[in-house]
């Protein structure tokens, strides 16, 4: 069965179907302010949100302010975030980013993606998450789930996260970007899994390249 070429109208219809499937879609990292979200997102690389939330719950109670974390040694912070994996590099980036925030931004996380990506450990995906979830800036953060699901559904047809982001921004209106990112993550985590997708439980299986090629 050949899939029809994706149109903007159909892309919007897919968005609304996803909203019906996951009405509670939102960021699953716990945070109370932009700084906490920044640190949590840096920690989330190659780590589950569940684990990050466990670590940050303790971390932010012990060290509630950027100044508190900035005063830690590399070794002290490594011990706090050890279970998140890649702890040495993450500790180094967190300390560097926090000290830059204190020295150049008076401890306030910048709101623009352009400024965020200048911080150590902050790539485009992390910047998009922080800008979108903390400041309401329209952005699509393409993680492994967004990359997989958007390309399976035909919302994108790309071999890199950068191309996927650009294609999603083109096919969806700007007001869909931030919520759409969470909808695709929920789809990827709960239904459209990497190795064993639950196609029979998906309301969008007939849109899916994986389903039409592998299952049919």
Distance of CA 38 to the CA centre of its chain: 11
Is the Cβ–Cβ distance between 172 and 154 less than 8 Å? no
Return phi, psi of residue 8, to 5°: -65, -35
Dihedral in degrees, nearest 10, Cα atoms 112, 117, 121, 127: 50
List active site positions: 125, 143
CA-based nearest residue to 178, from 187, 168, 190: 168
Half-sphere exposure of 60 (CA within 13 A, CB side): 17
Q: By three-state DSSP, how is residue 4 classified? A: coil
Helix (H) or strand (E) run with residue 111 in it: none
In sequence order, the 6+-apart residues with CB closer than 8 A to the CB of 196 are none
């Amino acid at each position: 069965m050949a899939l029809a070429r994706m149109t903007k109208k159909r892309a919007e219809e897919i968005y609304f179907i996803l909203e019906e499937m996951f009405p509670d879609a939102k960021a699953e990292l716990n945070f109370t302010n932009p700084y906490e979200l920044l640190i949590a997102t840096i920690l989330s690389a190659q780590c589950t949100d569940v684990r990050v939330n466990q670590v940050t719950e303790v971390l932010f109670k012990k060290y509630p302010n950027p100044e508190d974390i900035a005063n830690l040694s590399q070794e002290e912070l490594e011990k706090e975030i050890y279970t998140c994996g890649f702890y040495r590099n993450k500790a180094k980036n967190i300390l560097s980013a926090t000290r830059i925030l204190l020295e150049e931004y008076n401890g306030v996380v910048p709101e623009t993606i352009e400024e965020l990506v200048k911080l150590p450990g902050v790539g485009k995906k992390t910047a998009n998450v922080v800008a979108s979830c903390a400041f309401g800036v329209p952005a699509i953060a393409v993680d492994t789930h967004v990359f997989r699901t958007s390309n399976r559904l035909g919302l994108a047809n790309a071999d890199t996260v950068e191309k996927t982001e650009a294609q999603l921004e083109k096919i969806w209106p700007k007001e869909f970007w931030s919520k759409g990112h969470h909808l695709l993550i929920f789809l990827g985590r709960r239904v459209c899994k990497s190795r064993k997708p639950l196609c029979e439980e998906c309301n969008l299986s007939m849109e899916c390249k994986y389903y039409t090629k592998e299952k049919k």
